[in-house]
Amino acid sequence: MKASGNCFKVRLLLEHLGRTYRWVEVNSAAGETRTAGYLAKNPNGKVPLLELADGRTLAESNAILCYLAEGSKYLPSDRWQRAQALQWMFFEQYSHEPYIAVARFIMGWLPQDHPRRAELPRLRERGYQALDVMEKHLGANEFFVDGAYSIADMALYAYTHEAHLGGFELTTYPAVQSWLARVESQPGFVAHRY
Amino acid sequence: MKASGNCFKVRLLLEHLGRTYRWVEVNSAAGETRTAGYLAKNPNGKVPLLELADGRTLAESNAILCYLAEGSKYLPSDRWQRAQALQWMFFEQYSHEPYIAVARFIMGWLPQDHPRRAELPRLRERGYQALDVMEKHLGANEFFVDGAYSIADMALYAYTHEAHLGGFELTTYPAVQSWLARVESQPGFVAHRY
């Protein structure tokens, strides 16, 4: 789904790796992840989904990143560094995406008078907590894992660079802003267009 | 924190591995994850946290499982199998724990008249969706990754075996029930006591 940051993560890595792939648009907002055909491939009914040439499938954006990045410079081979990358990717899915991406969804995809707008104050509070954690780390580190650009940065970039669409103000997060620019200056970087 | 399923996961793996460790109780319900001392170790202020002998720290229960299981039979070395294990662990943190663990927390730790009880119907709906996905997989597979007990099972066992404390009824999930029993019969299994 083009508009999904979780799907964008995968595209960003594939572009960095120069891998050939086919993008199959599946619009979850239109119910396309709930068809029998899609559920047969991903019983959890979510995008993105990686389908290999032999038909095997893999769900969960950050698991897909780990799988595709294996053996490349985007996933460290050192055991401790790998663990750090995973730490930040689990942080992203548990403490960041459910607030920052969901606020963007409510503001950008639901009508102005939708009852889910009542969730926004709590989403903002928790989303800013996640940004605080990122700011603290990035104040002392260029990237999330040992000073080198990795899939942990791609995972966190996906929704952070669109946090303003969920009503988040990044002016008091200078280290996050500098990091966004560093990510965007990486060789092979592609912007999220939809 | 003894009552936390996320912390229990780590203990379960350490026991399976026969590793020596020291358990330091940190009660997040009593604010102990929000002290300056704790935040210096884990800026995200959550348990569990792994602290190595040399002082390095690692947060996020499932990242800790991956780190500790490396090189053991509990984390496959095959690239595709590892990706499957990660897929289920990200599923657990995004589509399972936020509903099943949070319902258990609201019912077991908050007063009967607490306003957060209003969240229970939605938590139950989403939690049952996660259990449906598990039931489907376990109807055709003994464990989550290629027929062998792994850290993906430990991650999903942690809150599934206590789903009833969040008001979930498992009688219509026979495959999940059989799997819970298979996990409990693994050599070195320890029960979650608190």
Q: What is the pLDDT of residue B30?
A: 93
- Residues A46-52 have a mean pLDDT of 98
Cβ of residue B115 closer than 8 Å to a chain A Cβ: no
Q: What is the pLDDT of residue A40?
A: 96
Q: What is the pLDDT of residue B118?
A: 95
Q: What is the pLDDT of residue B48?
A: 98
The residues in A 23-52 lying below 8 A from B, measured between CB atoms, are: 43-44, 46
Shortest distance, CA A11 to any CA of chain B (angstroms)? 18
Q: Which residues does chain B have within 8 Å of residue A67's beta carbon, measured at their own beta carbons?
A: 79-80, 82-83, 86
Indicate the pLDDT class of residue A125, thresholds 50, 70 and 90.
very high
Cβ of residue A58 closer than 8 Å to a chain B Cβ: yes
Q: What is the pLDDT of residue A32?
A: 98
The residues in B 116-135 lying below 8 A from A, measured between CB atoms, are: 132-133
| Mean pLDDT per 10-residue section of chain B, whose length is 194 residues | 98 97 96 97 98 97 98 97 98 98 97 96 98 98 97 98 98 98 97 95
Give the whole-angstrom CA distance, residue B94 versus residue B48: 17
What ipTM does the predicted assembly reach?
A: 0.98
Domain B5-69: give its CATH code: 3.40.30.10
Question: Does the CA dihedral A83-A88-A89-A91 come out positive or negative?
Answer: positive
Which residues, in sequence order, are CB contacts of A122 under 8 Å at separation 6+? Answer: none
Task: Write down the pTM of the prediction.
Answer: 0.98
Cβ of residue B67 closer than 8 Å to a chain A Cβ: yes
Q: Which of B13, B33, B44 to mutate to test the interface with A (most CBs of A within 10 A)?
A: B44
Q: What is the pLDDT of residue A156?
A: 98
Task: Give the three-state DSSP class for B35.
Answer: coil
Q: What is the pLDDT of residue B73?
A: 98
Question: Does the CA dihedral A10-A12-A17-A23 come out positive or negative?
Answer: positive
Q: What is the pLDDT of residue B107?
A: 97
The alpha-carbon radius of gyration of chain B (Å, integer) is: 17
Locate the chain A residue with the closest alpha carbon to B137. A43
- In order of A55, A185, B48, B67, the CA distances from B61 in angstroms are 31, 32, 6, 10
Q: Which amino acid is at A158?
A: A
Q: What is the pLDDT of residue A119?
A: 95
- Residues A171-182 have a mean pLDDT of 98
pLDDT in tens, A1-45: 999 999 999 999 999 999 999 999 999 989 999 999 999 999 999
Domain residue limits, chain B? 5-69, 79-184
- DSSP annotation string for A56-113: -EEESHHHHHHHHHTTSTTS--SHHHHHHHHHHHHHIIIIIHHHHHHHHHHHHHS-TT
Q: What is the pLDDT of residue B46?
A: 98
Indicate the pLDDT class of residue A166, thresholds 50, 70 and 90.
very high
- Residues A115-143 have a mean pLDDT of 97
- Residues A113-139 have a mean pLDDT of 97
Shortest distance, CA B44 to any CA of chain A (angstroms)? 6
Domain B79-184: give its CATH code: 1.20.1050.10
